[in-house]
Structure 1
Amino acid sequence: MPLHAPAGDHVGLIRRAPSPRPLPSASRLWAIGLLATVAALTGCKPATGDAAPAGAAAAGAAQGGARPPVAVGVVTLKAEAQTLTTELPGRTSAFQNAEIRPQVSGIVKQRLFTEGAVVKAGQPLYQIDAATYEVAEAAARATLAKTQAAARTAELNAQRNAELVKIDAVSRQVADESQATVLQTRADVAAAEAALAQARINLQYTKILAPIGGRMGLSTITAGALVTANQTGVLTTIVQTDPIYVDVTQSTTELLQLRRDLEAGRYERAGEGAARVRIVLEDGTAYRLPGKLQFAGVNVNTGTGAITLRAVVPNPDGLLMPGMYVRARLETGVVPDALLLPQQALTRDGGGRASVLRVTEDGKVERRGVEVAAAVGNRWRIASGLQAGDRVVVDGLQRVRPGDNVKETEVDPATLGGGKRSGKGGGGDKPAGDKAAADKPTAAAQGAGASAPAAR
């Protein structure tokens, strides 16, 4: 029996092996082994070394995050005289415009000019058949000779009768009539002279001459056409475009505001002579020659509320043509102490308020609200908020914020044209990299601090 008992026990052990009760013990052993492995891995890092960076980061954060000075480019504002300009729309018009019409009737025999060519005053343009006018001139000349002969005869008779009446050879009546005949023949001579002059003028009109110098237009007739004196239709036109007029309009509101500013002393007059005018063409390019303001209208257009200004502009190359749309920039005044700020130095918030970053005396950055008066090229003219001598950040705006200490580098405003950053500010990327590097230990310390509870 005893020999069977172990066998029964053995059988009992074999039967209890599939029992699920040992499984929780194996799971616990596996979990304990895993925890031991994690503890061994985390225990390789010294706890004191992890705590030190975390403590230093916390201390740095507590002290306000002491950052090294940020390299920025600044511009020192200087007061300078700035000429005020007003850009107004307008159109060009010819300095002189002549419509050519015939002054005598006849058949056009020849056209004596080239369309589009430049002609001088007095140059022949058309030739009308002059045969009939030559005959008329000859007839008038003959009539004049006839009247002159009659007048000579009348004078001789009057002289003879004046002597005869003294000896009573002729009556007083005959003597008086002879004197009257002299006066009559003299009048006939004058009339004949006038008729001859008219005939000569008509003969001259058969050759149509250019009344002014300029550029010829298209001819509406050809050789062989019949024209009549003083007809309504024009034969051609002559346009003088050197110089040329530019007629622009300005609203009375702008004119009144400018006058108030001048009277208040905020602006100074641009000059005692005629104001200079610069022309901008339709494609946006500037015309190379300046003009002068010649005339300012005295009546306001009731429909538009504007007055007309007329400028005279040299046009030797004929680039400006009548009827072109242009823009005229007029010098209206001078600001003696203008502050001009590069446009990239100014930012606006969501409400549209303008501000700049100004460097204070102790080398810190502050945000300063400003008021913009107008754009002058690639700069802003500041109306208020800044003064001469202020240092404004123009390079490094993305990496600096109010309250930061900065390392200034003076930037030449001339190098900021077109919105380009200055070369001196290129080295300012380094502080941004240092900031990123300085942030890494803090992140590592935070990671170490996060792992410390797991180690524990």
Structure 2
Amino acid sequence: MLGAFVLNCVRSIIPAASVILAVLLAGCEKKPEAAAPPAPPVTVANPLKKQTTDWDEFTGRFDAVDQVQIRARVTGFVTKVTFVDGAVVKAGDVLYEIDPRQYEAAAEQAQGQLDDAKAKVDLAQKELDRATTLIKTQAISENIVDQRSQALAAAQASVLVAEGALKLAKLNLEYTKVVAPIDGRVSRHLISVGNLVNGSDSGATLLTSIVSMTPIYLYFDMDESIYQRNSRLWFEGRRPSSRDTPNPVQITLTGDSKPTKEGKMDFLDNRLDIGTGTLRGRAIVDNHDLSILPGQFARLRVIASGQYEALLIPDTALATDQSRKIVMVVKPDDTVEARPVTLGPLDDGLRVIRDGLKADDRIIIDGLQRARVGAKVAPKMGEVKPVAPAGGAKP
């Protein structure tokens, strides 16, 4: 009886154990691995290799080559203003007219005095000739001959005085027409018709002003470190000096994104400003379209080196790692490496790389955000191209 009971218990336990064992075995089965994601696509390119030149950038201000204050040179009432305010005038154009009548009268009076002096010279000459003839027969004394010689010399001196007075009178008459001494743009008229102007040397009345327009100067200041570097390059024969060479200058006007004017270096000062530690430089710019006015600001670029071969990449290929600039380089096994680089200036919209790259490196120029250091990528070859057309103005 007891044995049958035990046998029944064993038979009931075996199915339960089999179920538990099957569950445990199922849990121990190895799960299949998930498929690895594909390598992200990126565009790579070799750095652009080309001849380039470094440039220094400054802020400058335009100024006229010639600027003249127009003042009255004779005293009188203004009878006419003959120019339009702000117009372009030529040298010799009449700007003002001053009442000339008193100066015409003075000129006529001076002419009469000259004629009188010449008549006296003729008379003195005839008297001297007569005395010279009479002295041969001793009809008169030598003393009379001397007196008549002195009278002739005095009459001739009077002619010189009268001629000077006539020249002055004619000059004053000429000054009643105030003319432009240079080509340029005239300012507004400061004196209207009917006003009395003073022509004295100490207080001549200011009438207007003229500034020349073409060419035009562009002044700027460079700091001492740039001057020292350029001097060193000149001593090494790697850059021409702007003191004796009209080095090219590229100019970007306010509101423009790239250079639209060109000029050349014209002057470097002979000393540094002790207050600012800067050296004043000057470029001369053709302004034939008269679009630039004295006083305007502009950005200018002056060559800072001779030509050399450089590697260039777009700025969009650059990333920042703390204080370093890096580029992502795809190695031969298509894994990504972060490469620190030393940056140079922009040229044709591309960044010059001083150090850190080789010409055959494959750098990521598109898809930078998908690249991870040490991870594989699917590179597609592209090309680094200049932003500006070859031979055009550099941005």
TM-score by length of 2: 0.84
- Taking the aligned partners of 1:202 and 1:415, their CA distance within structure 2 comes to 65
User: Residues 339 and 382 of structure 1 are in contact (CA less than 8 Å); yes or no, is this contact kept in structure 2?
Assistant: yes
Q: Which residue does 1:319 correspond to in 2?
A: 291
> Is 2:190 the partner of 1:220?
yes
Residue by residue over 1:187-206, the C-alpha shift from the partner in whole angstroms, topping out at 9 and shown as x without a partner, is 11111111111111111111
- Taking the aligned partners of 1:167 and 1:360, their CA distance within structure 2 comes to 127
CA 264–369 in structure 1, closer or farther in 2 if over 3 Å, else same: farther
**Which of 344, 348, 353 is equivalent to 2:320?**
348
Give unmatched runs, 5+ long, in structure 2.
1-15, 389-395
Q: Which residue does 1:203 correspond to in 2?
A: 173
CA 95–275 in structure 1, closer or farther in 2 if over 3 Å, else same: same
- Taking the aligned partners of 2:257 and 2:189, their CA distance within structure 1 comes to 33
Amino acid at match of 1:107: F
Matches within 5 A, 1:331-346: 331-346=303-318
Q: Which residue does 1:289 correspond to in 2?
A: 261
> Is 2:344 the partner of 1:373?
yes
**Which of 79, 82, 106 is equivalent to 1:112?**
82
User: Residues 214 and 239 of structure 1 are in contact (CA less than 8 Å); yes or no, is this contact kept in structure 2?
Assistant: yes
Give unmatched runs, 5+ long, in structure 1.
1-35, 418-456
- Taking the aligned partners of 1:317 and 1:277, their CA distance within structure 2 comes to 18
- Taking the aligned partners of 2:387 and 2:92, their CA distance within structure 1 comes to 57
TM-fit CA distance, 1:288: 2.5
Matches within 5 A, 1:59-78: 70-78=40-48
Residue by residue over 1:9-48, the C-alpha shift from the partner in whole angstroms, topping out at 9 and shown as x without a partner, is xxxxxxxxxxxxxxxxxxxxxxxxxxx9xx9xx99xx969
Deviates more, 1:241-250 or 1:407-416: 407-416
Number of equivalenced pairs? 365
- Taking the aligned partners of 1:112 and 1:290, their CA distance within structure 2 comes to 36
CA 133–387 in structure 1, closer or farther in 2 if over 3 Å, else same: same
> Is 2:373 the partner of 1:402?
yes
- Taking the aligned partners of 1:369 and 1:396, their CA distance within structure 2 comes to 19
Amino acid at match of 1:258: N
- Taking the aligned partners of 1:232 and 1:141, their CA distance within structure 2 comes to 27
- Taking the aligned partners of 1:137 and 1:264, their CA distance within structure 2 comes to 67
**Which of 142, 159, 173 is equivalent to 1:189?**
159
TM-fit CA distance, 1:316: 2.3
Q: Which residue does 1:238 correspond to in 2?
A: 210
CA 399–107 in structure 1, closer or farther in 2 if over 3 Å, else same: closer
Matches within 5 A, 1:127-146: 127-146=97-116
Q: Which residue does 1:391 correspond to in 2?
A: 362
TM-fit CA distance, 1:165: 0.6
Matches within 5 A, 1:255-334: 255-261=227-233, 263=235, 268-269=239-240, 273-286=245-258, 288-334=260-306
TM-score by length of 1: 0.73
Query: Secondary structure in 2 aligned to 1:290?
Result: strand
Residue by residue over 1:400-422, the C-alpha shift from the partner in whole angstroms, topping out at 9 and shown as x without a partner, is 333344443221223889xxxxx
- Taking the aligned partners of 1:303 and 1:318, their CA distance within structure 2 comes to 35
User: Residues 79 and 337 of structure 1 are in contact (CA less than 8 Å); yes or no, is this contact kept in structure 2?
Assistant: yes
Amino acid at match of 1:388: A
- Taking the aligned partners of 1:416 and 1:404, their CA distance within structure 2 comes to 31
- Taking the aligned partners of 2:278 and 2:116, their CA distance within structure 1 comes to 67
- Taking the aligned partners of 1:259 and 1:182, their CA distance within structure 2 comes to 70
> Is 2:134 the partner of 1:159?
no
TM-fit CA distance, 1:69: 5.2
Please tell me whether Structure 1 or Structure 2 has the larger radius of gyration of its CA atoms.
Answer: 1
User: Residues 102 and 227 of structure 1 are in contact (CA less than 8 Å); yes or no, is this contact kept in structure 2?
Assistant: yes
CA 325–187 in structure 1, closer or farther in 2 if over 3 Å, else same: same
Q: Which residue does 1:253 correspond to in 2?
A: 225
Query: Secondary structure in 2 aligned to 1:344?
Result: helix
User: Residues 311 and 353 of structure 2 are in contact (CA less than 8 Å); yes or no, is this contact kept in structure 1?
Assistant: yes
TM-fit CA distance, 1:68: 5.2
CA 254–55 in structure 1, closer or farther in 2 if over 3 Å, else same: same
TM-fit CA distance, 1:78: 3.9
Query: Secondary structure in 1 aligned to 2:182?
Result: coil
Residue by residue over 1:352-402, the C-alpha shift from the partner in whole angstroms, topping out at 9 and shown as x without a partner, is 222222122344332222222334464322121112221112223233333
> Is 2:71 the partner of 1:87?
no
- Taking the aligned partners of 2:197 and 2:101, their CA distance within structure 1 comes to 15
- Taking the aligned partners of 2:69 and 2:274, their CA distance within structure 1 comes to 31
* Pairwise CA RMSD: 2.8
User: Residues 72 and 409 of structure 1 are in contact (CA less than 8 Å); yes or no, is this contact kept in structure 2?
Assistant: yes
CA 51–353 in structure 1, closer or farther in 2 if over 3 Å, else same: farther
TM-fit CA distance, 1:180: 1.6
Residue by residue over 1:283-310, the C-alpha shift from the partner in whole angstroms, topping out at 9 and shown as x without a partner, is 2444533111110111111111001111
Amino acid at match of 2:113: T
User: Residues 46 and 383 of structure 2 are in contact (CA less than 8 Å); yes or no, is this contact kept in structure 1?
Assistant: no
- Taking the aligned partners of 1:270 and 1:384, their CA distance within structure 2 comes to 27
CA 357–248 in structure 1, closer or farther in 2 if over 3 Å, else same: same
**Which of 145, 150, 158 is equivalent to 1:180?**
150
